Structure 1
């Protein structure tokens, strides 16, 4: 990736990598937790070579991205992530773009696609419809699914907050291994991304995210209107390609039907064998080709 750029966007100074021609089709690649922009190290050149303007931002609480004010709540709620992406598009004067991502970044992309469809040319989303249904968050799931979310329940406690603060790398490295059991990554690969977790707001944003999605803490009032819209589980109307990883350690793969009612536009869903939770880094060619499918549609 090229040298990082920074820009004031909403409540943040967002650090991002940019590649490809400035007049190319804009594509935003959004990383998840606990990852960073290095997840797209192989996807970005592929898209840039195809003529896309590729923008890969660090989310709030990651890497060099910083809050502009110490008084801004360090929220990790889904509405904040979507609002950050929209603010970045505004700051860069990009009226419409193709949005792609997974985990937190996929959620930001889904939020913009659902709430501001006029800003989204198309959507590539890992784990399909990635907007949280907070009203149903405390309804128990099957035990075989519940155990996968141990880390979320851990973060609900002050013990979990302290554990993450004490050793961010140990916690996140374990999650990498559990979530992508068939992906063999080396320490250098992990360390490149783990540096992003040294952000001073990382722990607060992460803890708030995993508590807010269960309705255990209040959100930032600045995003209350967006959260109210998301609570209605709005359909995604833009063209979409969605994925699940057959070996995802967070969410069991599902086929097209379970989320079909959440996509009122054209949608193709694919389950990819041998892929865990970090799809862009595990199979960059497949992810990149999906983005180009929508770019060329």
Structure 2
């Protein structure tokens, strides 16, 4: 994948891709169908009927992306802040996140479809972060720690943001994308089912999911619709999540120092954004009665 400048962002090597053909001796491997073999992650079918997920190929792919000590250049010769680079990254990779029609809204999901999008999301996010100088130049172990600590939180925020952008801001509309073509409706939990999961077991555990759904609605969907957050503010949320290291153990002192500097800088940039851009936009935008 290439940036507009023509510079290529590191992609996983053929060695990693070829590792998918390795056969674990303790497992019975059935011929893979399209859904069973993902670009990186693979399913392992055990003799006792269990299906395990081997995440080592996707982990190796992410490690390879993060292993570079240099940022993928955006505009050679022009110094950009972390927020400017991050926002640029979202613009470059926007097509990877936005919905692709036809869209299906269903209450019957396939956990492997969700897993496939997870791996795509992680790879794209790793490449976005490697556009940013302050992140790319960190020690590899610190980069990996920050990435693992933030990617799933941001995945949830981004999916709800993208859903609002596509389906609109009506508060009664609670459709949420799980990938770029499939959405679930939080309002419709009738006979909700995940393929491959025992229905009786799922029904017993469904009560554990409902409080999370309600928190997503109360703390994500409704506030995001009320505030009408923009892509710039979405990038700021990722920055805040990524660099929130106050209670993190094992990070180097240099990374903690950089985290503080970036947090202060992005806070100032967000202040200026509200003062000079968003407020003006809201004043000029016609209001519906």
Q: What TM-score range do you get, normalising by the shorter chain? A: under 0.3
Larger of the two Rg values belongs to structure: 2
Higher RCO (CA 8 Å, separation ≥ 6 residues): 1
Q: TM-score, normalised by structure 1?
A: 0.23
The structure in which a higher percent of residues are helix is 2
The structure in which a higher percent of residues are strand is 1
